[in-house]
Structure 1
């Protein structure tokens, strides 16, 4: 087989999808020396992709997502390839490309929580046309959870027989750290002086960071426990006004730590140092951060929305993300109950190990074979 993989979102710059493509390629290199792969990249990530295996080639395809060039010049670029199959690891495909292709749909956040990116009628229409065309014409659709599969069938009208669920996984760098000095030094670096709640992720509306801040305010107001809230990330990136206003208006602003960008190598330490990891999201396609926290043996208190119970199982305490009171109550429960924290800490790494990037790559390769052979 000659497989083309659209790697234009490859790497750290595209967060979740970038990591997905990175891990898929890393493990395809390990498990498949037989088939030929052509990886399409942009100027920004061309040098970052540095796989030397002979059956993997890279090629420049510098066509911006959500652009006219993606629908015209990228289409022409693809038509000139001698390939058996294209894998688009997202929904951004040229709508007139009719050769065999597979897509991965991570979530329907743009449909359910369009935000300011899709406030204009034209943008909404363009998104819907591209998404529905991709779902209709794909030979196979990979969904990253049963919840995403359900949404695709219900909202977009996907053919259930075409949708295959293949789970994502946690990087091996996330594991329990027993070096207390490293953890103490990290907390000192970021002025963390109390037991703390941690949230990792962006601050867009559907992530419900504003709800987490309100729940934190309730915990402090009621004098339940003296703790801090740590929210990494950059302020002022747009589309996150609710979170910024909630932080600014909090009467406990001095106990909300905003460390800004956290270097990749420090993230496992931060997870390990946290007393509790809080995940208040209204909607996720898979939800990697709470699983990363579990891999680090950090107790998780999560929203019960969308895929979270499916992915986290019985190794988390759940709350309704629409109720800040319930969120605060569950956070206090885990913060106060040392035995419960120990139980969740013990089960967390075992739950995280149920997911595997290598298995994801093997199952994806099976999809390629199935499509090409049929």
Structure 2
């Protein structure tokens, strides 16, 4: 029988699907939902922890209590070490009766001695930027990812850039890596001023009257370059179009602190801290533009969320970002302050350019969907199925 037409048995790991759904958890949940709709191609089973289930568990607020207990327990070095040594073995044991299945981990890690397995690598930040991971876990994470590469029948990445990274870093054959681009969830779409009014009022913001950045404040996100570029704008433009930053402060240094203080005291910087997920889509669609000067991204989902929301994007031309934005964004070298400032001015002053960017961004965003992500994932499953 042609493997491409054969119904595939797949066990999908759901450990990363936790409340609130962000990042990898969102990817795993959206992909699992799409795969469930492909009943003619896939018979899907789920592994959550060490339990195999027939249905996809829904992440809920009630799960937070369990997660907080787990986090407290894992602060104990002894408990953490026991967990590290035993949990993967327990997973392998749980999968012992599924030898004719393909096992997919959407979050890097694979248990030992599981044949026909696939893992999704979202980036290689644990190797390139180890300082942004818990110090005690970096060596362990690096070791486990090396193990995953050895164990996997195939790997999946979110972008061609990360595929190239994996090939170079681990010396892998390109045929061992499939690319399955991410997509936005359905909350991100164009909205009218009336539809976002309550959220804007909550934060004291004006429709199309601010630039937006969302993401953790850490060196690879390049916030210093953004603040330096913004500070060069005329004060009247800065006050009329303040920079709104949403995200955790994962890192600070003296210059960053000074620029934050200067911006807030002069009225051109609004730091919102963590913004609930329900409010973010409204901020994206209400912004004049979205600014994302990141130095390193495995995919760069926020720029896609902005384009889908009908908001122009200014971003760096680094790593995977050009793949996502195509020709729809204004792109600059990551540390080119002068060019970034000129782009900020252009968006404020040139309405026709801004509208062209909105239109091209919406067209570019249509290239990405969870359905496409599922299609590419199934192609990887079919490749592994040839060895079943």
CA distance in 1, matches of 2:237, 2:286: 23
CA contact (8 A) 2:31 2:373 kept: yes
Residue of structure 1 equivalent to 2:131:
115
DSSP 3-state at the match of 1:182: helix
| Residue 229 to residue 42, structure 1, CA distance change in 2 (3 Å) | farther
Helix, strand or coil at the partner of 1:185 = helix
Q: How does 1:99-178 map to 2 (within 5 A)?
A: 99-117=115-133, 119=135, 123-178=137-192
Q: Is the 8 A contact 2:310 2:361 kept in 1?
A: yes
* RMSD between superposed Cα atoms in Å: 3.0
Which of the residues 199, 211, 236 maps onto 2:225? 211
**Residue of structure 1 equivalent to 2:301:** 288
Could you say which residue in structure 2 is the equivalent of 1:92? 109
| Runs of 5+ consecutive residues of structure 2 not aligned to the other structure | 1-7, 60-65, 75-79
Task: Give the C-alpha shift of residue 259 in structure 1.
Answer: 2.6
Task: Give the TM-score taking structure 2 as reference length.
Answer: 0.82
Q: Distance in 2 between matches of 1:364 and 1:22?
A: 14
**Counterparts of 1:180-199 in structure 2 under 5 Å?**
180-193=193-206, 195-199=209-213
Is 1:38 the counterpart of 2:51? The answer is no
Contact 2:110-2:151 at 8 Å conserved across structures? no
Q: Is residue 34 of structure 2 the alignment partner of residue 20 of structure 1?
A: no
TM-score, normalized by length of structure 1?
0.85
Question: By how many angstroms is 1:17 displaced?
Answer: 0.5
Secondary structure at 2:217 match in 1: coil
Distance 1:190 1:100, change over 3 A: same
Whole-angstrom distance in 2 between the partners of 1:356 and 1:252:
38
List per-residue Cα deviations over 1:208-254 (Å, max 9, x = no partner). Answer: 2232222221224596773201112345xxx3224962554324543
Q: Distance in 2 between matches of 1:225 and 1:334?
A: 15
User: What is the Cα deviation at residue 271 of structure 1?
Assistant: 1.0
Instruction: Output the CA distance in 2 between the equivalents of 1:310 and 1:335.
Output: 26
Aligned pairs for 1:237-256 (under 5 A) are 239-242=250-253, 245=257, 247-253=259-265, 254-256=267-269
Q: What's the secondary structure of 2:155's corresponding residue?
A: strand
Using the alignment, how far apart are the partners of 1:251 and 1:201 within structure 2?
18
Greater Cα offset, 277-286 or 84-93: 84-93
Q: CA deviation at 1:342?
A: 0.4
Change (3 A) 1:68 1:139: farther
Q: Distance in 2 between matches of 1:27 and 1:246?
A: 46
Does the residue aligned with 2:352 lie in a helix, a strand or coil?
A: helix
Return the alpha-carbon distance in structure 2 between the equivalents of residues 279 and 341 of structure 1: 16
Gaps of at least 5 residues in structure 1 are: 52-59
Distance in 2 separating the partners of 1:321 and 1:70: 38
